[in-house]
Amino acid sequence: MLCEPLQIMVLVSTGMHSLTGRPCRASLDAQAIELALQQVGALIEVVNAGNAGDSEQSALRDYLGMGIGQVTVLKQPEFSDPVSALAQYVNEAEPDLVLCGEQAEWGEASGLLPYLLADQLGWAIVPHIAGLVGVADGHIELLQALPRGQRRKLLVKQPVVVTINGAAPQARQSAFLKARDSTINLLEFEYDSEHESGLELVADSELPQWQLQPAKQRPKRLKIITAKTAAERMKAAITVTPGQAGKVLQDTSPQQATEAILALLREEGVLK
Amino acid sequence: MTKVFRRDPRHERIQRNRLHPLHLVNQSQASVASSGTNPRTNANVLLSSRLPLHRVDNPEFYIVVVPEMSGGRLTSADKDMLGLAQQLANGGLAHDRMDGQKIEGPIFEDQAPERCGAVLAVVFTSIKDDRFADAGVDRLLDLSLFVGEGYQPEYQLALLLQAEKQFAPRYWLFGDQTMNSADLGRRLAARLDERAATGVVEIDDNWIWCRAGQSGNEYRRPHERILLVAEQIADPVSNYRYQASPVVLDVLVREVAAPEMTPSVQPKIEDLGLVAVDPGSVYLVEAEFVLAGGNGVTDWPLFHQVATALGATEGASRVAVDDGNMPRSTQVGASGTLVSARVYLAVGISGAIQHLQGMTHCDTVIAINLDPGCAMVSRADLSVIGDSSKIMQALVDSINRGESESRVRELTGFDREQAKEKWDDAV
């Protein structure tokens, strides 16, 4: 092939199993790896920023089991900000495309990291991506997932940070042998900025001060009744709203019934 | 019009009698009727004109809301967000977490007017429904003329940064879990280098509570200036009418005067437009239009034909799935999928309670059924009593006929265009 292979970097985080709460692969990040693996002839590098403890390593093994060969870990102490370290690493690696999930599964889970990364690097950021259509002379064509199952095509200048929506292709299973035999590269960095090649670490000063507590159940509002007087409340209780009693067409010909149905569908705007 | 004041004894009597059926209607017309002009009969106008106007003439600060605006209308989450913005602007959050009771809302008449802030809504899509005054918007910044349709987040961000400079808002409110608003909020936070609070589920005078991902925990943290709030964060406003007076960005006014003075944004993202999606491939959960079949459907190939013709996603009742007529993934109901379709067309489904549970979020329901007394017919907005096969056949026929007609019309329209071009060339 004449053209250079597409260089894809996938940023992964540690997920949380929805049932047991144990560390595992994050589903959106796994979908990002799946999307990268589906690109024929692309060079893939998987990067994680974390403290690389035992639990995190077991989660990383889940990613390795997808057949990516190795994963690079930028080792950081707890409560440190991964953005600057990642930005520096990505800037040196110079990939064409950075993929990551939209939101983490635990922790602050603000979904801000890709935006901060793109802002620091001066790259474009495109959220809610469900697929890659193609690459052409420094531009990349992406498929963005919209509500109601709709899709939008976007042409974006490389390099670009892309966040993956749940509508992207489902991640493949993790294979035990591949997970066991693959390698985890640890890159360690320290807080002092003496050696210039090392990545600078920034501590997150705010997060430790926040109070983490079990989520409170909040009542869900079902219906707003703004009646102030007893008469209004009585009226609201006894009147039949149009939604409760629909129109019934009985003893009509199929053609008339069809016309009525199609008219309603056109009125709702679902029929083109 | 004469200035003579005329008494209407009947009207006065109705006004005194709270239980009279016309009491509310006449009360709102009281001022109109006494001035001698014709009373308007539109119910919405009556409702809004009855509410007192909340005026903010010289706002001390601004709360900027970026609503999601689906289809040119405020969504219910947008209205909740505007309700929160009004609480923030008028110095008093309605919720008190400590005793779980609601504190009475702020009373605007007693407050000094300079304590009030104004709620500014920034709208990028063209507005179809003009309900901003009722939803709690004091100032409206309509940028739809400057931003075209489609995905242009970079240009929208540049405009938001100008709004930040001009209004210096105390809070920025965006909707989390939305398409455009959340994207813009995160972009703005990254550009301003401020830490945004995302997934905000509750807010009081000192703290905000934010979801911690899917972990079932939440963080209690101090207030941030940029908030991405979850749905149902506050109640929408209901007691007042608001000004919704339009404002403009100074930069855009200057740009119109001297376009070369302001640097233009070089967009890196280009929108190539929507892609045609096969309705069969859309997930049943997020489908907009569902055609569901049940025990009353006898001709299943015809059913699939109708789904293709209408462009609907297929669903089924439990019986149809158990009989092997439809795959299990299409089952709607308590043990299947809970659909959120806007329009639900049920063919031959009597409406077991488990099935109705699966379609509680559907707005418009159309039923085709033989039994006029079944539960689905009483739920439906439009019911057709008759044989499903005949009606489905008629549906397919009339759609195909309509398509061929429109094709003919397109062709003739094209000819007319060509003729017009020729005429223009000749002239």
- B384-419 in b/e form (b: 16+ CB < 10 A) is bbbebbbbbbbbbebbeeeeeeeeeeeeeeeeeeee
Chain B hits for A226, CB-CB cut-off 8 Å, are 238
Q: Who has greater pLDDT, A245 or B1?
A: A245
CB B382 to CB A251 under 8 A? Answer: no
pLDDT tens digits, B378-397: 889 899 999 999 999 999 99
Q: Say whether pLDDT at A1 is over 80.
A: no
Q: Which of A105, A118, A149 lies at the smallest CB-CB distance from B215?
A: A105
* One-letter amino acid for residue B175 of the chain: G
Contact state of A112 with B189 under an 8 Å Cβ cutoff:
yes
For B269, which of A126, A150, A213 is closest by C-beta distance? A126
- Which residues in A lie closer than 8 A to residue B269 (C-beta atoms)? 124, 126, 154-157
How close is the nearest chain B Cα to the Cα of A152, in Å?
A: 4
**CB count in 10 Å sphere of residue A98:** 27
Lowest-confidence range among A31-35, B47-51, B61-65, B326-330?
Answer: B47-51
Question: Could you read off the pLDDT of A225-260 as tens digits, one per residue?
Answer: 667 788 887 777 776 555 556 889 988 899 999 999
What b/e string do you get for A11-25 counting C-beta neighbours within 10 Å, with b at 16 or more?
bbbbbbeeeeeebbb
Q: What is this structure's pTM?
A: 0.80
Query: Would the CB atoms of A246 and B381 count as touching at under 8 Å?
Result: yes
pLDDT band for B361, please (50, 70, 90 cuts).
confident
CA diameter of chain A: 88
Check A258 against B385: CB less than 8 A apart.
no
Which residue in the set A143, A153, A270 is minimally distant from B289, CB to CB? A270
Task: Please judge whether A212 and B372 are an interchain contact, meaning their C-beta atoms are less than 8 angstroms apart.
Answer: no
pLDDT at B416 over 60: no
Confidence check: pLDDT of A147 > 90 = no
Confidence at residue B98, expressed as pLDDT on a 0 to 100 scale: 37
SS3 readout for chain B: CCCCCCCCHHHHHHHHCCCCCCHHHHHHHHHHHHHCCCCCCCHHHHHHHHCCEECCCCCCCEEEEECCCECCECCHHHHHHHHHHHHHHCCCCCECCCCCCECCCCCCCCCCHHHCCEEEEEECCCCCCCCHHHHCCCEEEECCCCCCCCCCHHHHHHHHHHHHHHHCCCEEEEECCCCCHHHHHHHHHHHHCCCCEEEEEEECCCEEEEECCCCCEEEEEECCCEEEECCCCCCCCCCCEECCEECCCHHHHHHHHCCCCCCCCCCCEEEEEEECCCHHHCCCCCCCEEEEECCCCCCHHHHHHHHHHHCCEEEECHHHHHCCCCCHHHEECCCCECCCCCEEEEECCCCCHHHHHHCCCCCEEEEEECCCCCHHHHHCCEEEECCHHHHHHHHHHHHHHHHHHHHHHHHHHHHHHHHHHHHHHHC
For residue B279, the chain A residue with the least C-alpha distance is A149
End-to-end CA, chain B: 55
- Report how far Cα A98 is from the mean position of its chain's Cα atoms: 13
CA distance B14 to B9: 9
Chain A environment of B369 (Cβ under 8 Å): none
A247/B235 CB distance under 8 A: no
* Alpha helical stretches, state H, chain A: 27-37, 54-64, 82-93, 113-121, 176-181, 230-238, 254-268
Residues 384-423 of B with CB under 8 A from A: 384-387, 390-391, 393-395, 398-399
Q: Which of residues 65-124 of B touch A (CB under 8 A)?
A: 70
Banded pLDDT at B415 (limits 50, 70, 90):
low
Are A246 and B377 a contacting pair at CB < 8 A? yes
Which of B18, B198, B235 minimises the CB distance to A111?
Answer: B198
Confidence at residue B283, expressed as pLDDT on a 0 to 100 scale: 85
Residue A188 touches chain B, beta carbons under 8 Å: no
**pLDDT score at B403:** 81
Contacts of A155 in chain B (CB under 8 A): 269-270, 272
> In chain B, what residues touch A231 (CB-CB under 8 Å)?
18-19, 23
Chain A closest-CA separation from residue B3 CA (Å)? 35
Q: How far is CA B226 from CA A119, A204, B153, in A?
A: 17, 18, 17
> Which of B187, B217, B398 is opposite residue A215, by nearest beta carbon?
B217
Map out the domains of chain A as residue ranges.
7-209
Q: pLDDT digit string (tens) for B304-350?
A: 999 999 999 999 999 999 999 999 999 999 999 999 888 999 999 99
In this prediction, residue B103 has a pLDDT band, given cuts at 50, 70 and 90, of very low
For residue range A34-83, what is the model confidence (pLDDT) as tens digits? 999 999 989 999 999 988 888 899 999 999 999 999 999 998 888 888 89
Contacts of B291 by beta carbon, 8 Å cutoff, 6+ apart: B303, B306, B307, B310, B312, B313, B314, B315, B345, B347
Q: Which tokens sit at B230?
A: 């979850």
Residue A92 near chain B (CB below 8 Å): no
Residue of B nearest to A210 (CA): B221
Question: Higher-confidence residue: B102 or A116?
Answer: A116
pLDDT for res A241 = 59
Residues of B in contact with A215 (CB under 8 A): 201, 211-212, 216-218
Instruction: Domains for chain B: give ranges and CATH numbers.
Output: 9-50 (no CATH), 53-257 (3.40.50.620), 279-396 (3.40.50.1220)
Greater confidence (A192 vs A115) lies with A115
Identify from A24, A79, A115, A272 which residue to disrupt to test chain B contact, counting B C-beta atoms within 10 A and taking the largest count: A115
Closest approach of chain B CAs to the CA of A55, in angstroms?
Answer: 16
Distances (CA, A) of A7 to A47, A159, A184: 13, 10, 20
**What is the ipTM metric for this complex?**
0.88
Task: Provide, as residue numbers in chain B, all residues whose Cβ is less than 8 Å from the Cβ of A151.
Answer: 274-275, 277
A234 part of contact set with chain B, CB < 8 Å: no
The answer to whether A101 and A164 are in contact (CB under 8 A) is yes
pLDDT of residue A16: 93
pLDDT in tens, B213-262: 888 899 999 999 999 999 999 999 988 899 899 999 888 887 777 665 55
Cβ <8 Å between B268 and A156: yes
Residue B425: its pLDDT value, please? 53
Note whether B58 contacts A: Cβ–Cβ < 8 A: no
Superfamily of domain A7-209: HUPs (3.40.50.620)
Q: What are phi and psi of B414, to 5 degrees?
A: -65, -45
